[in-house]
C-alpha cells in the first residue's frame, strides 16, 4: 500500500500549505485533492478492514469502489453546493473522483 502513503502525504501537504494562505496553481488548488480523495479514503478503508478482520488478502469489490465514488460525487458536487455557499458543483471534480477510483481499482486494490 505504498500508494496510499504517498497520496496521503501529498494530500496532507497540500492541506497544510493551504492553511498558511498559500495559493497553488489552479490545477493543484482545485483538482489534486479531488483526484486523491477516493484512493485515500478507499485505501484507508481497506487497511482498516484488513486490520479489523485480520485478513491481509481482503480487497474491495467493484460495487464498493463505485459506491465511494458515487457518494463523493453526490455529497460534494450536488448536495453540499445546495446547502452551503462554500461549495460549488463541478463536473471536472466528478471526473477526478472517477480517475482516482480507477487508479485505486487497478493499482491499489491488491
Cell triple for residue 108? 491499489
Which pLDDT tens digit goes with each residue over 48-98?
999 999 999 999 999 999 999 999 999 999 999 999 999 999 999 999 999
Opening angle at CA 104, ends 102 and 109, nearest 5: 125
Given this model, what pLDDT does residue 60 score? 97
Given this model, what pLDDT does residue 48 score? 96
Nearest to 31 by CA among 91, 96, 104: 96
Nearest to 4 by CA among 32, 34, 45: 45
Given this model, what pLDDT does residue 51 score? 96
Number of domains comprising the chain: 1
User: Taking 80 as the threshold, does the pLDDT of residue 40 lie above it?
Assistant: yes
pTM exceeds 0.75 for this model: yes
Q: Which structural domain range is residue 44 located in? A: 2-19+30-108
**In the chain, helix, strand, coil percent, each to 5?**
80, 0, 20
Given this model, what pLDDT does residue 1 score? 77
Residue positions counted in the chain: 110
Residue 24 lies in a domain: no
Amino acid at each position: 500500500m505504498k500508494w496510499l502513503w504517498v497520496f496521503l502525504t501529498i494530500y496532507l501537504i497540500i492541506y497544510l500549505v493551504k492553511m498558511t494562505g498559500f495559493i497553488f496553481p489552479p490545477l493543484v488548488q482545485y483538482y489534486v485533492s479531488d483526484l486523491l480523495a477516493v484512493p485515500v479514503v478507499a485505501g484507508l478503508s481497506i487497511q482498516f478492514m484488513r486490520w479489523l478482520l485480520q485478513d491481509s488478502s481482503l480487497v474491495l469489490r467493484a460495487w464498493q469502489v463505485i459506491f465511494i465514488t458515487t457518494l463523493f460525487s453526490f455529497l460534494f458536487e450536488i448536495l453540499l453546493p445546495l446547502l452551503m455557499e462554500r461549495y460549488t458543483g463541478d463536473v471536472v471534480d466528478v471526473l477526478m473522483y472517477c480517475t482516482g477510483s480507477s487508479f485505486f481499482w487497478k493499482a491499489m486494490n491488491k
